[in-house]
Amino acid sequence: MKILHEVLRKNRPAILLFFVINAFQLTVFLLYNVMKEPLLYASSVSFLLLVGLLAVDTFREEQHRAERLRAAESIARDWNCLPEAHSLAEEDYHAIISSLVEGMERLTADYNTRRQDQLDYYTSWVHQIKTPIAVMKLKLSGDSPENRLLLAELLRIEQYADMALQYIRLSGESNDLVIREYSLDELIRESVRKYAPLFLEKKLRLDYSPVEETVVTDKKWFGCILEQLLSNAVKYNTPSGTISIGIKEGFLYIADNGIGIAPEDMPRIFERGYTGLNGRIGQKSSGLGLYLAKKAADLLAISLTVESKVGEGSRFMLNMRDKLTKQPKSIIM
């Protein structure tokens, strides 16, 4: 019906002219009392010719529309696949599209160049700032309460620097994934060791038993997920609380018995920049940690979910069912 309506609209002047001419001729024949049969015969033949021409035009319009729809599906891959122009107007539209695409390609190339420069800058900045952080860690190797406090703050600085780099990389098109098989226990222990100063600062207890599974994943981005979830658990746990890590029915969970998440915040905690009630009260949330964890989980095709009750704590769960295998036990001879 759309095609028929378009054909009638396009040929409206010709159709209107046909009926006006026939009405005028009929009026003249009536005024001069001329025999009307020849006029009616000629008008009927002309009307049939008009219907035939409209039918042919409708058929051609259907073909042209099919070409345009096929071009619309593939234009994202190759804008040169535009259908052949059948009129001067279509030639003009082709010229307009070509001009727009060339402009878009220039803007895209400029954007990619600036984005790569930005990524190179942040990468260099993160690596450079880690050098003084490492030096300060060595200087604060003592076990005094003051040193433990400063080490915890240094870890936060290092974490924020890493978050800046992770944010830039996750927002880009390239992901530099290196998928291999890793010991899940080693990945967990590596992240826990990194956050040890924060555990000591808040006097938190870790409930974790070694796991025997191996995981097929990217070490860097999987570590990003673990670190962000651990950071969140430490940040919102109560002093002298407990953080639990384990595997249950194919799910890797990281749980705390802290302040929990308000029900109205649950649907939005993985949104970028959303801090929720806890973040607004404590004024210590950037709204990026859980966003980065969710983005990294999506990148690795891992489902990340959360259960929480206010005043009882939160449990974040990673669905690892299709990524875990049991490590073979060593045989003692």
Portion of the chain with pLDDT greater than 90, in percent: 26
Average pLDDT value for residue range 127-156: 83
* Mean pLDDT of the 3-20 span: 85
Mean pLDDT, rounded, for 272-300:
77
Residue 27 pLDDT grade (very low, low, confident, very high; cuts 50, 70, 90): confident
Confidence band for 333, pLDDT divided at 50, 70 and 90? very low
Q: How many helices (H) and strands (E) does the chain have?
A: 10, 8
> Residue 304 forms beta bridges with which residues?
318
The CA-based angle 314-317-320, given to 5 degrees, is: 170
Q: Which uninterrupted H or E stretch holds 150?
A: helix 145-170
Three-state DSSP state, 251: strand
Check pLDDT > 50 for residue 331. no
Joined tokens for residue 213:
């599974």
Which H or E run includes 14? helix 12-31
Contact 177, 215 (CB under 8 A): no
175-333 maps to which CATH number? 3.30.565.10
Query: Looking at this protein, which amino acid is placed at residue 29?
Result: F
Q: How far apart are CA 158 and CA 277, in angstroms?
A: 26
Mean per-residue pLDDT, 245-268: 92
Above 50 in pLDDT, residue 321?
A: yes
pLDDT classification of 278: cutoffs 50, 70, 90: low
Q: How many CB atoms lie within 10 A of CB 255?
A: 22
Going from the C-alpha of 196 to that of each of 61, 231, 324, the distances in angstroms are 71, 11, 26
269 three-state secondary structure: coil
The b-or-e profile of 113-145 (16+ CB within 10 A means b, else e) is: eeeeeebeebeeebeeeeeeeeeebeebeeeee
Backbone angles phi, psi at 157, to 5 degrees: -60, -45
User: Is 153 a residue whose pLDDT tops 90?
Assistant: no
pLDDT at 172: 65
The H or E element containing residue 271 is none
